[in-house]
Amino acid sequence: MGHGWEGVVLKLFRGKDFVFMVTGAEQVVSDRYRRIDFTDGGMLAATGVHPTMWVRLWFEHAGKAHQRAYTLVDPDPEAGTFGIEFALHEGCASDWALRAQPGESIDATLQGTGFAVPNPLPSRLLVVGDAASLPAINSLLGSMPSVPATIWFETAHDDDQQLPLRRDPALHDVRFVERRGDALEQEVRKGFPEHAADAFVWIACDTVTTRTLTTYVGKELGVPKERIKSLGYWRPPS
């Protein structure tokens, strides 16, 4: 399958192509969250690993290639393996994840990912996300296991609170917020500390909320830009 104009653009930006092989699949908690395990086609040995590392997987729909980005879960460079967790919804990526079986392959491109653990470590992590960014949240928390964190986690379904959030109850304050209008934004504004310059802020939810909260944290609260990492993970329906 060719990758179309998106593939050409990624090549211009030095994207590296790999082929992953499915080794296993399982539902996690509910029928709306699914983990697929892969061998990496030599990627991790060639590129190394960093926290919240993600790749672009290529899916076919109506004869055209579409790419979607996913965070690596439990990457093991020595074994050349990792998992990807899919928050399932309507679309070609979810359709593929539901039918994927061991032995099946999928094209992937590594381009655009990058994250370094702050040095020195922040006094606190302030994290905003949802089911789509859960793997990245887990990777972030795992990269700074001694740093306390406040996590605003938006839920769209009753069992989202049971998703595999790798939290330490002694260090991580998780605040579940039902997806309803701008409820997530309002809860973050209400609970965000006034003095957060020595914290590290990580925001990854829908594009509109991510943009709004990033502006709020940077411009209104004055958190330095090097202490903020944000990325819109999905677009809300119009």
pLDDT tens, position by position, 123-171: 999 999 999 999 999 999 999 999 999 999 999 988 899 999 999 999 9
For the chain, which residues score pLDDT lower than 50? 13
Q: Which residues of 92-120 are buried (b: 16+ CB within 10 A; e: fewer)?
A: bbbebbeebeeeeebbbbbbeeebeebee
- Residue 161 is predicted with a pLDDT of 93
Both tokens of residue 151?
Answer: 């996590």
- Residue 110 is predicted with a pLDDT of 93
- Residue 88 is predicted with a pLDDT of 87
- Residue 3 is predicted with a pLDDT of 67
The span from the CA of 25 to the CA of 219, in Å, is 43
- Which domains occur in the chain, in start order? 4-110 (2.40.30.10), 125-230 (3.40.50.80)
- Residue 61 is predicted with a pLDDT of 85
Pairing between β-strand 149-155 and β-strand 54-61 as defined by DSSP bridges: unpaired
